[in-house]
Amino acid sequence: MKKKIVLINPWIYDFTAFDLWARPVGLLYLAAIIKKHTENTDLYFIDCLDRFSEKVRKKLRFPKSKEDGRGKFYKEKIKKPSILKEIPRYYSRYGITEDMFKEELEKIGEADIYLVTSTMTYWYPGVHRVIEIIKRNFPKSKVWLGGIYPSLLTEFAKKHSKADLVFKGHAENSIIPLLKEAGFKVKNTPFFKNIDELPYPLFALQSKHPYLPFMTSIGCPYRCPYCATKILSPVFFQRKAENLVKELKFYKERYSIEHIVFYDDALLVNKKKRLIPMLKELKKMGLNFTFHTPNGIHIREIDKETAEIMYESNFKTIRLSLEIGVEELTDRLAPKLKLDDFEKAVKNLVDAGFSKKQLETYILFGHPLQNAKIIESSINFVSQYEVPISLSYFSPIPGTEDYKELIKKGILKENDDPLFQNKIVFVYLKSNLNSEEIKYLKELVSNHNKKIKLDKK
C-alpha cells in the first residue's frame, strides 16, 4: 500500500497581509527530495494562501492579480486576541476559508504524515489552527512542523503547536531518515552539502505559475542586529552561475515562466562571480525573464555596470535597502551602507534607464533606537531623490541582537506571547512612537508617494 504525505502552507493571521510574491519554497524543496528519494509515496499539497486556482477564484471573489502575480489575499475578519485589543485595526485570517481547507483534507483522505511549514513567529495562530483541524479529523495521523517559526521558537512550538515532531533549522538532510523511521520505503539517504545539490523545488504541486521564486545564494555575509538570517542560515553559500542558468532554463521549458522573483538576502554581493555572469549567459542564450527584487538590494553594490546590466536584463521591481537614512544610526543598524551610496545608486539606476518610480526605498520604522524626529529625517532625505518610500516596520525577531537588547532593557520579556513580535503590534505598543507620531509619519510618506505619482502623469 502506498504511503501518503500532505504538505501544507498555513493561513496568515494578522492585521494586514499582501501577496508580495510569496511561495513556500522550502516546503517545495522538501517535496522534491521526498519524491526523488522515496518509493510508493503519494504527495499532496494544500496551500491555504492559494490565490490562483480556478476553484479558489470561482468561490472567493477578490481583486484580480497584477500582471506580475502580486495581489490581495481573500480575508475574513476574526476575533482579535485579547492582548492585541489596543491595536486600532481589524484582525483577519488571510487565505482560503476553513471550509475549503477541510474539504481538501477530506478529499485527500487520511495521510500518514502532514508536513506543515511556517514563516513569521507571530503568525503561529494560523499554524496552530491548521494542526488543530488535522488532529480533530485524523487523530491517528502524525503532524510534522518546520519553517522559520519553530526554528526561532523551538520550545514554544513544541509546547503549544500540538505537532508530533518539530524541526529546528533546515530539514533537507533529516527528512528522509525520519521518513524511514516512520516506515516509508526509501531509495537512499542523501546528504546535501549545499543548495546546488538539491533537486529543484517541486513547483508542479502548485495550481498555477504566474511567477517563481529563485535564490542565487543562501544566507548573508552581514550581521545586521535586527535580522535573523545568520540564525536561520549561518553559512553564506553562493551558487555557481552555470547552475543558476541551468535551473532557469528548466523553468522556462517546464513552466513557460516569465516572472522570476529573487528571494536572496544578498543578491548583489560578489555579483561578478554569480549574478552578472548568469545574466550575461541568459542574454546570450536568448532566455528572457522579468526579474523582481522584493527583499531589497544592497545600495553600495549598485555601480554603473551593475545598473546597466540589470536594466538590459529586464529588472522591473527594484527595492532599495536604505533602511535607516540618517548618518548617526548607520554604523549601528546598517553598517553595509553610507548615505552617499544612496545618491550614487539612484543616479546609476536612472542613467541606466530605470524610472525613479521603480526605485522604491525601504526605511526602517519603529526601531527602538529611532524616534519620530529621526524617522522624519530619513523620509525627508529620501524624498529629495523623488523615489517612492515604503516604511519597513521593525519586528523584534527572537535570537537577534536587537531582540536580546529589548529583553535586557525589559521592553520585552522572554515569556511574552510571540504576538508581541508582530511588526504592527511592536510599533504601536512598544516603540518610541505614539499614535499621533505614527499617523503623521505615515501621512508624510503617503503624501510624498502621491506627489510622485501626480508628477509622473
How many structural domains does the chain have? 2
Tell me the pLDDT of the chain averaged across its residues: 93
Work out the number of other CB atoms within 10 angstroms of the CB of residue 328. Answer: 10
Residue-level pLDDT at 325:
47
* pLDDT tens digits along 102-159: 999 999 999 999 999 999 999 999 999 999 999 999 999 999 999 999 999 999 999 9
Domain limit, last residue, from 117, 151, 186: 186
> What would the pLDDT profile of 329-369 be if each residue is shown by its tens digit?
555 555 445 678 899 999 999 999 999 999 999 999 999 98
140 and 27 share one domain:
yes
Q: Is 85 exposed, middle or buried (0-12, 13-18, 19+ CB in 10 A)?
A: exposed
Read off the pLDDT of residues 178-237 as tens digits, 9 standing for 90 and up.
999 999 999 999 999 999 999 999 999 998 999 999 999 999 998 888 999 999 999 999
pLDDT digits (tens, 9 = 90+) for 80-101: 999 998 898 999 999 999 999 9
Q: In which domain, by residue range, is 19 found? A: 3-186
Give residue 195's Cα distance to chain centre. Answer: 18
pLDDT grade, residue 56 (50/70/90)?
confident
Separation between Cα atoms, residue 143 and residue 186, nearest integer Å: 20
pLDDT of residue 434: 94
Q: Give dist(CA 46, CA 165) in Å, integer.
A: 19
Do 181 and 306 sit in the same domain of this protein? no
112 with 232, same domain?
no
From 30-34, 58-62, 80-84, 354-358, the region with the lowest mean pLDDT: 58-62
Looking at the structure, do residues 19 and 143 belong to the same domain, yes or no? yes
345 with 266, same domain: the answer is: yes
Residue 426 has pLDDT above 60, yes or no: yes
CATH of the domain at 37: 3.40.50.280
Q: Are 20 and 84 found together in one domain?
A: yes
Residue 203 included in any domain: no
In whole angstroms, give the CA distance from residue 221 to residue 300: 14
What's the pLDDT score for residue 321? Answer: 86
